[in-house]
Structures are given as structure tokens and as C-alpha cells.
Structure 1
Amino acid sequence: MPGENQDASKLTVEEFLHDAAVDNTDIEVFLHALLRLAVHNLSHPDEELLCGITLLRHKKAATVASSSDRAQRVDEIQYDYDDGPCLRAAREGDLVHVADVHEDARWPEYRPRVIEEGIRSILGVPIPIDSGDSAALNLYSNESHRFDEEAIESAQQYARQASRALSLAIRLARHRDAEANLEAALDSRTTVALAIGIIMGQNRCSQDEAFDLLRSASSSRNMKLRDLAADLVTSADPSTEGAHFDR
């Protein structure tokens, strides 16, 4: 973990998260490091908060990191109703504070279920990110009125400091996804080209004719072109002649 040899309380959030982003290429590892710091800085000595991060991508919500199994479970309750304090914080970009779950009339279906989990107060803090997605830091306490003005300001400041590093991590993840997609596309083109070469040799036809044969076979067999090409390349036998595809 970044900063293990240093006192975590002496690190600024930005210093810690910068180290985490540099040292970890997996966004999930990075986010768990973020939560460990959040719990360390925001909990009281006699109570450890539950903490999670909700990320909204393509209108789908998911907890991408949590401080415990219980935190994960509590986060997921709101997804069953597609609404809740932390989802709303992420979607609308505004802080959502539930001082006492028993006294808050919002989310009437969601509320009884978090009460069953022993939750008494909730704080949803939006994490601004510049990727077009949205996120929130989710804090849960077993105590009512747990989040006073000082705690709320600390959480907001933490979210502001964390946002740049979180945006960086998401951009890095997207860049890796794009690289993987490009590599897969290039592999697919290479496989199709090899398959066309095999068909040309076996059928003594032109490149265009070979591609038409491959495409026709793909349609008639209800297979993706790249999958059929991969099968042909894998099973190709140089001694075989006259391979034909049914149109």
C-alpha cells in the first residue's frame, strides 16, 4: 500500500492518492486504497464508518469499492430501487445528508431496509470527475446525527481532493480498455486476412472472391466473420485442397 512506511495521518489526501494512482494500474485497487484513507480520516476512535464508492457509467450504478462486506451490502440496497441518498448525490452532484434515518421520510421503500442493517445516519458526497461519468462517496454510521458540520466539511474537502486522482484513474482505465479493444481489432483483421489467404490458395481465386466466400459462409452458418476466420486458420491443413464454403 502506498505510504505504508509513513504515518498515514501525515499524508495529505492528494499525496496519498497520487502515490496510489502511480503504483496501481488497476482502478479497483486504487479505489480500495482511497476508501482505506477515507475510513482512517473520517471515523471516530470508537466507531469505524462504513464507506463505499458508487460509480455511475452508462446510466448503470455499481459499488466499485467498499470498506467491508457490510458496506457493500448497504450500498447495494439503493440499487434495488434505483434511488437513494448516495445515488442521488452521484446523479445530481449535490450533497445528501440523512441525519436520522428514522425521521427522514424520503425513500420510503429504501429506508426500512437500511434500518434493518442498523444504519442510523447517511452522508452521500458527490465526487466530481471529468470523464462524463459521476460518482459519490457513501458514508454510513450506526449513530444518528453522526455527521455534524465539521464532519460534513471534512468529507466534502476529502471528495474535492480525491476527485482529480479518481478522474485520472478512470481515464487510465479507459485508455487501457481502448488499447485492448484496438489490439483485439488488429488481431481480428490479421486472422481474417490469414483466412482469406488460405481460401485463395485452396480455391485458386482472387482476394475479393475469397472474401466473398468467407462472408457468405459467415452468413449461412450464422457465425461472426472473425470467429469463422479463426476456425479456418486453426484447422487449416496445407495438404488440403478445394475447401469450399456453402453460400
Structure 2
Amino acid sequence: MGDWGMMIDQQVDWRVSGVLLDIRGHSEAASACALARIAASAVSEIAGHPVESTVTLVRPDGTPFTAATTDAAGGLSRWDQLAGRGPTSRALGGRLTIILNDHCPDKRWDEYPASLRSAGFRSAVAVPLPLERGYRAALTLYSAETNVFTPVVASRALAFSDVAATSLVLALQVRAGLAQSADLRAAMASRTAVNVACGVIMGQNGCSYEAALQMLTLASSHRNLTIRDAAEGMLRTLPGGVPPTHFQQRA
């Protein structure tokens, strides 16, 4: 096969396969790292050549994170994302890009072929991963061999990326749900401690709840504590200590 390049300039029409990858993690970064490892393994098998992978995730606030199977792949994708002159940045914009034999027809990317070779690669493909809630992501695959991402391999990589995108959406949703649940538990624990402390103050002073809350707020301010810490500190001096919340008792 000759020395040539190809770019597919189109919006990708994703299909739902019904298959999911288990990339759940304790953080967005952990899920992205798991996906990068699985993608490298899966596409290496499809292509018949070793493939390195990166997953570039841009959060709703615009902060990026790049998970990579090797330092060389990670450095190239990070440079691409920041410079905006390569397939990763293009995929983050929702478009598929394939570069074959380290040659790219887009003259705006004059630096990219040299950067690709410098990182030890000759072929690359970047695929957008459509997410939700303001997240953007790109799956970028690299090979040290030329012309690895032929149309046949690219089409199968696209099918895999469909599964990857669906799995990443689910992983981010699960993590968001867990974070929300943790916030709710913290809020409930704080409310329980404050309410019980106010009850104690009401009994000791014969005052209303509003007056008791004002006393507790004043005490927390004088001691440079949060109102919850002030409430729990007061309750620890009582015989029963800080009462558990209902969800703690069921755990």
C-alpha cells in the first residue's frame, strides 16, 4: 500500500449495540483509564497489530483529563488537545479522523505528522465519544505500524467506540449518583446533629427552636466551627453521645 492519507469529514451516526463495558471507577479518571486499557486490547485484536489508546475527557467546566496506555500516547493526545491541531481535538469536536502512514492532508496540521513520528507512531485514528451533561470525550488509537487503521479496521473500531461511549455515559451517571447520595447522607447527618442539639438547648433553656438554633450558630461562630461540628461537640458531652441517623442504622 502506498504512502497516503485519508480523513473522513462527517458527523458519526452512532448505533446502540446493547453491550456494556465494566469501566465503573471511584472517579472519572479511573473510568477513563479502564476504558483506555480495554480499547487498546480490543482494537489490537481487531487490527492484528499492537495498538495504544488514550481517552481524553473534557468535563463540563472545561478541564480536561487524558487517560493513556503509554506515556508517549498520553503526551501526544494532551499536546493535540491543547494545541487544537490534530485528530484528538477534532474528535472532541464530534468528528472522526483517520491518519494513515503518518500523512495527513489537512494543511492546518503541519506539525502533527512529525509529532506522531516523534512519539513512535505511524498511524492514528480518533473517534468522538458522545456523552451527556456537558461532557465531551475522544478515543484516540495509535500504532507504530503504517496503514493499520484501514477502512475495515476503522469501521470495527467505530462499532467498539459506540459501546465505549454508552459504557462511559453509564459510568459517569453511576459516579454522579454515588456523589449525590454521599452529599445527601452528609446533609442528613448534619441536620440530625443540629436538630438534636437544638432540642437539648430548648430543654435546658425553655426556648423556641429558632432561639436554640441562634444560640448554636453563635456558639459555632465564636469557636470558629461549622454549626454541625458545634452541635456534635455539644452532643458528645451527653451520656448518649451523637445519635445515629436512620440510614446509618440500616447500613
Please report the TM-score for the alignment, with normalisation by the length of structure 1. Answer: 0.68
Partner of 1:62: 65
- How is 1:211-230 mapped onto 2 (pairs within 5 angstroms)? 211-220=213-222, 222-230=224-232
**TM-aligned CA distance change 1:121 to 1:232, over 3 Å:** farther
> Secondary structure of 1:119's partner?
coil
Which ranges of structure 1 fall in alignment gaps of 5 or more residues? Answer: 1-12, 239-247
Aligned partners of 2:121, 2:226: CA distance in 1, in Å? 50
**TM-aligned CA distance change 1:81 to 1:218, over 3 Å:** farther
**TM-aligned CA distance change 1:32 to 1:62, over 3 Å:** closer
One-letter code of the match for 2:58?
Answer: L
For residue 164 of structure 1, report the CA deviation from its aligned partner.
2.5
Deviates more, 1:160-169 or 1:73-82: 73-82
For residue 186 of structure 1, report the CA deviation from its aligned partner.
0.8
> Secondary structure of 1:62's partner?
strand
The answer as to 2:205 corresponding to 1:186 is no
- How is 1:166-245 mapped onto 2 (pairs within 5 angstroms)? 166-220=168-222, 222-234=224-236, 236-237=237-238
User: Which one scores higher on RCO, CA 8 angstroms, separation ≥ 6?
Assistant: 2
One-letter code of the match for 1:75?
Answer: S
> Secondary structure of 1:147's partner?
coil
For residue 29 of structure 1, report the CA deviation from its aligned partner.
6.4
Partner of 1:129: 131
**Count of aligned pairs:** 219
> Secondary structure of 2:65's partner?
strand
**TM-aligned CA distance change 1:34 to 1:225, over 3 Å:** same
**Structural RMSD (CA):** 3.6
Which ranges of structure 2 fall in alignment gaps of 5 or more residues? Answer: 1-15, 240-251
**TM-aligned CA distance change 1:174 to 1:83, over 3 Å:** farther
Summarize deviations over 1:171-229 as a string: whole Å, max 9, x none. Answer: 22222222111111111111222332343355553321111122234445554333333
One-letter code of the match for 1:94?
Answer: R
The answer as to 2:144 corresponding to 1:120 is no
Summarize deviations over 1:14-64 as a string: whole Å, max 9, x none. Answer: 57x53636xx5757666555444432332244x41111212222222113x
For residue 134 of structure 1, report the CA deviation from its aligned partner.
2.1
One-letter code of the match for 1:96?
Answer: T
Partner of 1:40: 41
**TM-aligned CA distance change 1:179 to 1:105, over 3 Å:** same
**Preserved contact between residue 14 and residue 162 of structure 1 (Cα < 8 Å):** no
**TM-aligned CA distance change 1:192 to 1:94, over 3 Å:** same
**Preserved contact between residue 131 and residue 167 of structure 1 (Cα < 8 Å):** no
Aligned partners of 2:89, 2:231: CA distance in 1, in Å? 45
**Preserved contact between residue 87 and residue 98 of structure 2 (Cα < 8 Å):** yes
**TM-aligned CA distance change 1:227 to 1:157, over 3 Å:** same
For residue 141 of structure 1, report the CA deviation from its aligned partner.
2.2
The percent of aligned pairs where both chains have the same amino acid is 33
